[in-house]
């Protein structure tokens, strides 16, 4: 089961550039931490 998951992750990474992956993570995670980031910026 773990090997299937590893292979799926490898294939996903190979299909997408690191920049695209970073953009996706930022789009997904920044809203979650927006308030904390705003407070830190003060």
Half-sphere exposure of 8 (CA within 13 A, CB side): 5
Q: Where does 1-42 have alpha helices with state H?
A: 2-15, 18-40
Does the pTM of the predicted model rise above 0.75?
Answer: no
pLDDT tens-place string over residues 1-42 = 789 999 998 888 777 777 788 888 889 988 988 899 899 888
Question: In angstroms, rounded to a whole number, what is the distance separating the alpha carbons of residues 17 and 5?
Answer: 19
């Amino acid at each position: 089961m773990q090997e299937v998951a590893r292979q799926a992750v490898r294939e996903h990474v190979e299909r997408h550039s690191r920049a695209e992956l970073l953009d996706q993570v930022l789009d997904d995670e920044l809203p979650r931490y927006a308030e904390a980031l705003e407070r830190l910026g003060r």
